[in-house]
């Protein structure tokens, strides 16, 4: 399969992209990774979608293989929306499909609401379309864990000990339940290496120091009142045990005209890794 990669100049620096194309004439699907501040690394398996249309993986500015400027004023949703526009125009694309994951769904929604004419369809994978709803969901998710884990997380955050080994061990329990439920031995090697491609500074500025409390500049972000404006085919997906809860994901879908909703019954936040066969069956059918 032909692979083309390079860099596109955007506001603040250059971003890395990689296109997987099986020489179809179909409009491509752009993958928007999570974070803020993560990379395409854990999503590289989505090149499998190239069997139905070209796939564009890219690292948002400050992340992965893209430039890492030191200007903190760059880390806001409006600039990231403009970055996606610059990437699209730089690649000479007229329209595209978007698959956003986690924070990538926040960006996908914001992009569509700014440039609806550019977008042919959207897959909201494990969506975060309201920071206040996300924060409430995480508090409810925490309550499903053993009491000692809840207590450790609460006390470490209250005492500024989020870099402690106790906090890391406790959040790993949360992640093993709500992020990826595969045993360590069954997780792909590339997933284990993803941390070196992240930029925690972006996460801290936009989200905050903790997954469980939103303190950054996305604190009040909520596009639920605008979801009725989405006029393209839309698919909402999440895992049964996802930190992006099925209840909230279905709620977002209910606000979006003519959208579809699907739960991956044996997954948390990474169904593309936890249940790849089912994930690609559902997403390919939508994109075809």
CA distance 54 to 244: 27
Token pair for residue 182? 């595969």
C-alpha torsion sign, points 197, 199, 203, 209: positive
* CA gap 119, 132 in Å, rounded: 27
Beta bridge pairs of residue 10: 13
What are the angstrom distances between the C-alpha of 126 and each of 118, 203, 264, 271?
Answer: 22, 18, 10, 9
Contacts of 105 (CB under 8 A, 6+ apart): 32, 124, 125, 126, 127, 128, 129
Coil, strand, or helix at residue 126? strand
Residue listed under structure tokens 């049964």: 240
Total Cβ atoms within 10 A of residue 274: 22
List all residues 6 or more positions away from 154 whose beta carbon is below 8 Å from its beta carbon: none
Catalytic residues: 102, 242, 269
């Amino acid at each position: 399969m032909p692979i083309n990669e390079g860099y596109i100049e955007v506001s603040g620096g250059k971003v890395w992209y990689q296109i997987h194309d099986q020489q179809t004439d179909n409009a491509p699907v752009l993958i928007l990774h999570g974070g803020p501040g993560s990379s395409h690394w854990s999503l590289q398996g989505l090149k499998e979608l190239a069997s139905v249309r070209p796939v564009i993986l890219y690292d948002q500015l400050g992340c992965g293989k893209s430039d890492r400027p030191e200007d903190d004023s760059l880390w806001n949703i409006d600039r990231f929306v403009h970055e996606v526009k610059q990437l699209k125009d730089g690649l000479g694309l007229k329209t595209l499909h978007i698959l956003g994951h986690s924070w990538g769904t926040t960006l996908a929604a914001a992009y569509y609401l700014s440039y609806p004419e550019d977008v042919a369809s959207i897959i909201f994978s494990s969506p975060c379309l309201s920071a206040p709803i996300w924060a409430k969901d995480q508090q409810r998710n925490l309550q499903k864990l053993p009491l000692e884990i809840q207590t450790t997380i609460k006390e470490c955050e209250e005492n500024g000990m989020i870099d402690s080994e106790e906090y890391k061990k406790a959040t790993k329990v949360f992640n093993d339940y709500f992020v990826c439920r595969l045993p360590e031995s069954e997780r792909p090697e590339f997933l284990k290496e993803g941390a070196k491609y992240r930029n925690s500074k972006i996460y801290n500025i936009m989200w905050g120091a903790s997954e469980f409390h939103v303190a950054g500049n996305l604190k009040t972000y909520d596009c639920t009142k605008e979801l009725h404006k989405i006029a393209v085919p839309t698919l909402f997906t999440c895992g049964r045990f996802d930190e992006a809860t099925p209840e909230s994901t279905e709620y977002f879908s209910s606000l979006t005209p003519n959208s579809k909703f699907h739960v991956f019954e044996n997954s948390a936040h990474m169904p593309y890794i936890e249940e790849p066969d089912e994930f690609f069956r559902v997403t390919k059918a939508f994109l075809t």
